[in-house]
Structure 1
Amino acid sequence: MSAPLWAWAPDTWWTLFVHFLSLSLMAIGGAITLVPDMHRRLVDDLGLLSDTDFTSAIALAQAAPGPNVLFVGLMGWYGGGLGGALASMLGIMLPSTAVALGFSRWVATRREQIGVRAFQMGMAPVTVGLLLATGWLLLPSIEHPRALLLAAVVAVLVWRTRVPLIWLVGAGGVLGALGWV
């Protein structure tokens, strides 16, 4: 049932784009929370995907490393080839990205307002607490002491320096690719 790689189907692409665009702002808790509506629309109403393609897209994206939202691109791929994948991902990502960018710009221009400062100061311990809770839950699954050492070094670097986080993520990726962790 999958569409060919280079399927030329602008109507299908537009349908996928509009569907995922409309779902994007309702995705509290992530795109995975909207799977029933995706199934209703893409499988039952439009017939763009078979049940097998639909479940395969979710299973493959959940098994692969990276963000869980990748299943949206796979659904687009199955329903409309490469163009369908691009339309689906653009539809699901555009609204939430625009809201995040707009909000961050709004905050940046009001950085000195008491309400904005209070919100940021209040969210700092919440963020730290969530990160520590996640670390605590993941701790039993860490098999290599070097991974704990790397986590400690990164924590100190983030706390005491202004090294850009992207460089730390990149360094972690290189160390993982080299088999160090």
Structure 2
Amino acid sequence: MKKTILTLFFCLASFNIVGAAVLLEGIGGYTAIADADNMVGFGGGAGIQVTDNLNFIVRGFFGSKVNNPDEPDEEKYSHMMVLGFLEYYHRLPTAPVAFSGYLGLGYSETEIDEPAKEKLSDAGACAAFGAGFYFIMTQHISPFLTVGYHKSFYGVDMKDANIGGFQVLLGVRASIFGRNKSIMEGY
């Protein structure tokens, strides 16, 4: 039975790599987080092209901020999210640009350390949605800009906190394996 499952797994894995592009991302961004301070962060993602217009991506993002460093009233904030996204991807027919819209669910952790209050730390579910543009530089490289909204749902230390807000992501996506269209196709 183990050999059958292992053989089936490798057959399906090789089928997906041959038929669909594997997507890798590097991102930087600005995240507004209502009850935690707004912060700049970074992250990455990996995914697979499901159809010509639909991608599945797992994306992680981490941000942190320190106010008044090395002072008695130093404040520290950090926020981490890992989400699985379904992304609709539509390439515009007259330009090397693609529009995307995405919806994701996942896991997040937030820490708030302010001297006037007790340290808060919580983890739970999160959701995000947004839209943006990919600028197709080559068959394999596309810088992108997206704007979206994220919200974390906590139940212990931060159950009454509003941990969510707007997010702007700037990054680069690399497409490997799969079928890649010519950059000039359709013009």
Structure 2 length as normaliser, TM-score?
0.19
Higher helix share: 1
Q: TM-score, normalised by structure 1?
A: 0.19
Larger Cα-atom Rg:
1
